[in-house]
Amino acid sequence: MNFLTDDYQDIRDGVKALCAQFPAEYHRTVDEEKAYPETFVDALTKEGWMAALIPEEYGGAGLGLIEASVIMEEINRAGGNSGACHGQMYNMNTLVRHGSEEQRQKFLPKIAAGELRLQSMGVTEPTTGTDTTKIKTTAVKKDGRYVINGQKVWISRVQHSDYMILLARTTPLAEVKKKSEGLSIFLVDIKEAMKSGMTVQPIPNMVNHETNELFFDNLEIPEENLIGEEGKGFKYILTGLNAERALIAAECIGDGYWFTDKVTAYVSDRQVFGRPIGMNQGVQFPIAEAFIEVEAANLMRYKACALYDAGQPCGAEANMAKYLAAKASWEAANACIQFHGGFGFANEYDVERKFRETRLYQVAPISTNLILSYVAEHILGMPRSF
Ligand SMILES: Cc1cc2nc3c(=O)[nH]c(=O)nc-3n(C[C@H](O)[C@H](O)[C@H](O)COP(=O)(O)OP(=O)(O)OC[C@H]3O[C@@H](n4cnc5c(N)ncnc54)[C@H](O)[C@@H]3O)c2cc1C
C-alpha cells in the first residue's frame, strides 16, 4: 500500500478553486449570523464533491476515503468548516457497504444528483454518552414497521438533511450475549418523522454547528428502512465512525495548516521592539512544533484512509489519526491566537472562529480520553476499565 506517491493535486486544485469563490468574509458572516453555509454546500454538491464516495454506477465519482479526506482537508485549509457537510461523506459508506441493492438504487443516485441529503447520524444519547452500547432508544417491530421511542442529543445537520442514519436497540441488553449485539441502524426520512413522532430541539452552542436534541415518541418507520441485518447495527455504525474519524483527522490537518500559514505570515510582518516578532525563537518554536505535529498526523491519516479503502481493519489507525491531528491542530490554534496578540480575538482575523471550530475535535466525535483508552486496552492489551 503506497499512499505517499500521490499528492491528489487535481482534487486539491478543484476544491481550492471552488473555495476561492467563498472567501473568509463569507464564512465569517455565516458564523456571525449563526447561519448554515447553504450556498457553499450547494456549490460543493453541484460540482460533485459531496458525491465523491458514491460508486460511479449510482452517479457518483467512485473515489475512496483518501480522496474524500483531501476534499475535507482543503475546505478547512481554505478557511471553511467541513463540519457543515462532512456527515454525508461518512454516512455514505455505511449505506454503500451495508445497504441493500434496493436501498442503494433508491437513495444513491438522488444523493449524487443533489436531490437528497444524507447528512445526519443519530448515535449519542443524553443519559449514556460515550457508553454507546447502553443506548436506551428502542426500535420494536410491529406490523411491517419499526416503532421508535427514546431520545438523542447532539445530532447534527438534522435541519439541513433529508435522511438520518439512526442507531436504536432492537433486542434488550439483558437478552444479548455481547452488549454490542441487538443494535440496529435505520434510514429515517426526517421531514416525515417530524410530522409523526420525532421532535427536534436545536442546541445553541459555541461553534456555528447546527446540532439538536431529538425526541422519539412512537415514531413509525417502514421495515425496509432497516440497513443490513437486524441486530448488527453496532458493527455497521463502526464503519461510518472509522470513516468519520479519518475524515475529521483530515479536517484538523487542514485547520493545522491554516493556523500555521496564518500565524507565519503575521509574525513575519508584525513589528514590535523594532523588528518582526517572528525573529524571536520564543515565537518561532511553538509554531514550528505545531507544524511538525501536523505533518506527522498527516501520515497517520493517509495510513488510516488507505487501510479503509483496502477494506482492511483500520480502527486503531483511524483513532490514532484523529487523536494526533486534533492535538496538532489545537496546538497550532493556540500558537496562532497567542502570536496574533489582541488581534487573535478580533472576528475580522478569523483566528478566534477557527480556534473555536478546531477545539470541538478534542471532544467530538470521540473524546481524546476514549481514544487513549481504546489504544491502551485494544491495541496494547491492558485490562479493560469499562
Ligand atoms: C457540536 C457537536 C456535534 C455533535 N454531533 C453529533 C452527531 O451528529 N451525532 C452523534 O451521534 N453525536 C454527536 N455529537 C456527540 C459527540 O459524539 C459526544 O459529545 C462525544 O462522543 C462525547 O460524548 P458525551 O458528550 O456524552 O460525553 P461523556 O460520555 O459524558 O464524556 C464526557 C467526558 O468525560 C471523559 N470520559 C468519559 N468516559 C471516560 C472514561 N471511561 N475514561 C476517561 N475519560 C472518560 C471524556 O473526556 C469525555 O470528553 C456531537 C457533539 C458536539 C459537541
Q: Is residue 336 part of a domain?
A: yes
- Specify whether the CB–CB gap between 373 and 385 falls below 8 A: yes
Size of the chain, expressed as the number of residues it contains: 386
Which atom of ligand 1 is closest in space to residue 126's alpha carbon?
26
pLDDT in tens, the chain (386 residues): 566 778 999 999 999 999 999 999 999 999 999 999 999 999 999 999 999 999 999 999 999 999 999 999 999 999 999 999 999 898 988 999 999 999 999 999 999 999 999 999 999 999 999 999 999 999 999 999 999 999 999 999 999 999 999 999 999 999 999 999 999 999 999 999 999 999 999 999 999 999 999 999 999 999 999 999 999 999 999 988 999 999 999 999 999 999 999 999 999 999 999 999 999 999 999 999 999 999 999 999 999 999 999 999 999 999 999 999 999 999 999 999 999 999 999 999 999 999 999 999 999 999 999 999 999 999 999 999 99
Q: Looking at residue 350, what is its pLDDT?
A: 98
Same domain, 31 and 86: yes
The residue type at 19 = C
Q: Are residues 347 and 258 in the same domain?
A: yes
Q: Is residue 1 part of a domain?
A: no
Q: Are residues 78 and 126 in the same domain?
A: no
Q: Which among 61, 81, 112 is the end of a domain?
A: 112
Q: Are residues 187 and 96 in the same domain?
A: no
Is the residue at 384 inside a domain? Answer: no
pLDDT of residue 3: 67
Residue 271 belongs to domain with CATH number = 1.20.140.10
Q: Name the grid cell of 137.
A: 432508544
HSE-CB for 357 with a 13 A CA cutoff: 28
Q: What is the pLDDT of residue 5?
A: 76
pLDDT of residue 93: 87
> How far does residue 354's CA lie from ligand 1's centre (Å)?
20
Give the domain CATH number at 77. Answer: 1.10.540.10
Kindly state whether residues 228 and 241 are assigned to the same domain: no
Are residues 280 and 370 located together in one domain of the fold? Answer: yes
The verdict on residue 59 lying in a domain is yes
Q: Which of 112, 145, 179 is the last residue of a domain?
A: 112
Which atom of ligand 1 is least distant from the CA of 123? Answer: 11
Does the reported pTM lie above 0.95?
A: yes
Domain assignment present for residue 25? The answer is: yes
> Who lines ligand 1 at CB under 6 A?
121-124, 129-130, 154-156, 205, 209, 211, 360, 363-367, 369, 373, 385-386
Distance CA(248)–CA(69), nearest Å, equals 8
Residues 150 and 241 in one domain: no
Q: Given this model, what pLDDT does residue 6 score?
A: 84
- Spacing, Cα 59 to ligand 1 middle (Å): 35
100, 143: one domain: no
Q: What is the 3-state secondary structure (H, E, C) of the chain?
A: CCCCCCCCHHHHHHHHHHHHCCCHHHHHHHHHCCCCCHHHHHHHHHCCHHHCCCCHHHCCCCCCHHHHHHHHHHHHHCCCCHHHCHHHHHHHHHHHHHCCHHHHHHHHHHHHCCCCCCCEEECCCCCCCCCHHHCCCEEEEECCEEEEEEEEEEEECHHHCCEEEEEEECCCHHHCCCCCCCEEEEEEEHHHHHHCCEEEEECCCCCCCCEEEEEEEEEEEEHHHEECCCCEHHHHHHHHHHHHHHHHHHHHHHHHHHHHHHHHHHHHHCEECCEEHHHCHHHHHHHHHHHHHHHHHHHHHHHHHHHHHCCCCCHHHHHHHHHHHHHHHHHHHHHHHHHCHHHHHCHHHCHHHHHHHHHHHHCCCCCHHHHHHHHHHHHCCCCCCC
Instruction: With CA atoms as reference, report the closest residue to 108 among 184, 158, 160, 56.
Output: 56
CATH number (domain holding residue 130):
2.40.110.10
Q: Which of the listed residues 117, 130, 152 should we mutate to test ligand 1's pocket, taking the one with most ligand atoms within 8 A of CB?
A: 130
Positive or negative torsion for Cα 227, 231, 234, 236 = negative
Q: Name 234's Cβ contacts closer than 8 Å, sequence gap at least 6.
A: 132, 133, 167, 180, 181, 183
Distance 367 CA to ligand 1 centre (A): 6
Residue 40 counted as domain residue? yes
What is the domain count for the chain? 3
Ligand 1 center to residue 365 CA distance, Å? 7
Going by CA atoms, what residue is nearest to atom 24 of ligand 1? 129
Q: Are residues 148 and 104 in the same domain?
A: no
Domain assignment of residue 4, yes or no: no
* Same domain as 283, residue 247: yes
Residue 324 is predicted with a pLDDT of 98
- Give me the domain span that covers residue 149: 120-232
Scan for cell 457543515, then name that residue: 84
Q: Which of 112, 132, 164 is the last residue of a domain?
A: 112
| Shared domain check, 82 and 206 | no
**Both 223 and 309 in a single domain?**
no
Residue 386 maps to a domain: no
